[in-house]
Amino acid sequence: MRSALRYLISSLLVGALSVGLAWAGAGLVPVKSSKLKDAGADLEQITGGAVTARGEKSAEIVFDDQSAPPQGYVLAGAAKVSIEPRPEDYDGVWIQDREQCATMSEALVTQLPGSGEHLAAAGSPWPENPNCLYMGGYGLGPMNPITSWDQEYGLYVRSAVIQGPEVDGHQGALVLTIIDGEGYFWDYGSKCDDCGLKQLSQELAGDLGIPAESFITASTHSHTSPDFIGGWGFVPDWYMNQVGDAIRESIKTAWADRRPAILETGEQIARGYNHERRDTYRSAEEQQLTWMRAVAPTRKSRRPETVFTLGAFAAHPVTRDESTGVAHADWPATFEKALEDRFGGVGLHMMTGLGNISPDGGTMMGEALAQLVPEVGAGVRVTDTNIRVVQKTWAQPATNVPLTALGVGGFFDRKFLNSPAEVRTGKSPDTAPCESASPVSVEVAATAAFVGDQLAITAGPGELFSNLSNTIKEKSGALVTMPLAQANDALGYLPQSFELNPVGQQGLGFVAGSVVVVNYEDSYSIDRCFGDKVLEETIALLNQLRE
């Protein structure tokens, strides 16, 4: 009798989970963040009643076809790979003696230091030891060598993948990767011909059989993590090779780890953990922590298994002391570890509109932010798991003369195009356009993705400002929107034209931030219309996906 009863209950559970679960009707329509709590579901809705919050029952769930998820599910996988330097594996040398790693003053930037002889010998115009690793994000040039590695939290490449059901012959996928680094380029100038995110996406697309636009790879922007763009000293070839391999391994391992999972999402108000920082005017901040989580029913444990939890929030990771020489991923590392400790699986953090935003709460604010993420089952179930992704590339004028000179001269290793480009963009491009043109340009990309109609994810190629990311959230039409920054590129700050002072853009912001009408961030913006163009293209891509 007991065996028959167990068989009946197990059959009912499999049937219920295979056809999808009924969720609260409020979770099926776009609502504002204040209503998200009402749209949530408890753990029994996530698991079909197979377990309780304390795991008092086991889930006896088996899916026959692992190549495609059942209706209402995704195939989800996750992985993380350490990027602690291993020079012995790549025939390299890592010098960890600060005295041997030359540093320089930001004032020398105006002199474009480094002779042709040094460039030929070391591969870098910066006058430093090519066997040193440097932190990125403080001024310009090699100023903060990395001499040791944080062992408590570590630095990683982390990846999360989701693949949706087949719809009209198309099975969409999304690969989200975060690198513990100041930034990582779409296309490198001379460092490599296969390690840029453009090339890696194309390579991995061929390996995995999914479109190249499915890949969104971002950096945490921690200023005490390694520099991968060359703006703060030479990046040794062996280390670029190691990190490129780590990106490949992380993504391929996550892809191989795919299993049927339920996807849930939500956003929490986190106003106390950031503030706007512009010098000459007050700007908007982004106040929400957005998140998503994949939970896989399993028969191997007493509770469902969290595959990954991904959070997105805006605040510069600048809480650590760069003078110690210790490589550290800053508060995103404490956020990710806290997620893993609470829920299991892989924790990830990706930045949103951080360009004008500073953190509040020190390094451990990451742990506090992680506590805002609800328990498994307390978010909004993503009931429609059809994944659609679209990407657009264009030639963006590069009108910032000092930055262009540094780039063309190899002082940061981004590929520039010696071809003219012009843009005419804005909310009303016919009557109130932002117009720009330059004989030098750079190829950039923007990406937009929808999971059903409830979750939207976008990617911008630099440090988005919160006014821009807030606008994307407003215009997406989704219940939860993640406007990711430093994603698929790291081309400086992306204010919109009304937030940027052209005088400060042409170098004055390097040395005269907050003086008169100059903001520090202006000097690191490649073009006054770049932010406007990214915003309008992103909105257009979201509209295209809704058609």
Residue 126: predicted pLDDT:
77
Q: What DSSP state is assigned to residue 222?
A: -
Residue 506: predicted pLDDT:
61
Do residues 380 and 266 lie in contact, with contact meaning Cβ atoms separated by under 8 Å? yes
Q: What DSSP state is assigned to residue 460?
A: -
Q: Which two tokens stand for residue 374?
A: 């609800």
Residue 53 lies in a domain: yes
Burial of 368 (0-12, 13-18, 19+ CB in 10 A): middle
Pinpoint the alpha helices (H) of 385-521. Answer: 401-408, 466-476, 502-503, 509-511
Q: Which amino acid is at 12?
A: L
Q: Is the dihedral of CA 516, 517, 518, 519 positive or negative?
A: positive
Q: Residues of the chain whose pLDDT is less than 50?
A: 1-62, 64, 106-120, 512-515
Q: Which two tokens stand for residue 532?
A: 């406007």
Residue 537: predicted pLDDT:
98
Residue 284 lies in a domain: yes
Residue 358 lies in a domain: yes
Phi, psi angle pair for 266, to nearest 5° = 175, 180
Residue 26 lies in a domain: yes
Residue 101 lies in a domain: no
Three-class DSSP category at 409: coil
Q: Is the dihedral of CA 118, 120, 123, 124 positive or negative?
A: positive
Do residues 334 and 254 lie in contact, with contact meaning Cβ atoms separated by under 8 Å? no
Residue 364 lies in a domain: yes
Burial of 526 (0-12, 13-18, 19+ CB in 10 A): buried
Residue 63: predicted pLDDT:
52
Q: Please, what's the b/e burial string for 103-115 (b: 16 or more CB within 10 A of its CB; e: otherwise)?
A: bbeeeebeeebbe
Q: Which two tokens stand for residue 94?
A: 């890592």
Q: Which amino acid is at 335?
A: F
pTM of the model: 0.87
Q: Please, what's the b/e burial string for 379-410 (b: 16 or more CB within 10 A of its CB; e: otherwise)?
A: bbbbbbbbbbbbbebebbbbbbebbbebbeeb
Element (H, E) at 47: helix 43-47
Q: Which residues pair with 274 in a beta bridge?
A: 359
Q: Distance between CA 257 and CA 251 in Å, rounded? A: 10
Count of structural domains, the chain = 1
Residue 6 lies in a domain: yes
Residue 47 lies in a domain: yes
Element (H, E) at 121: helix 116-122
Residue 507: predicted pLDDT:
57
Residue 46: predicted pLDDT:
46
| Structural domain for 344, as ranges | 2-73+256-381
Q: For residue 191, give the nearest of 506, 508, 413, 425 by alpha carbon.
A: 413
Residue 137: predicted pLDDT:
86
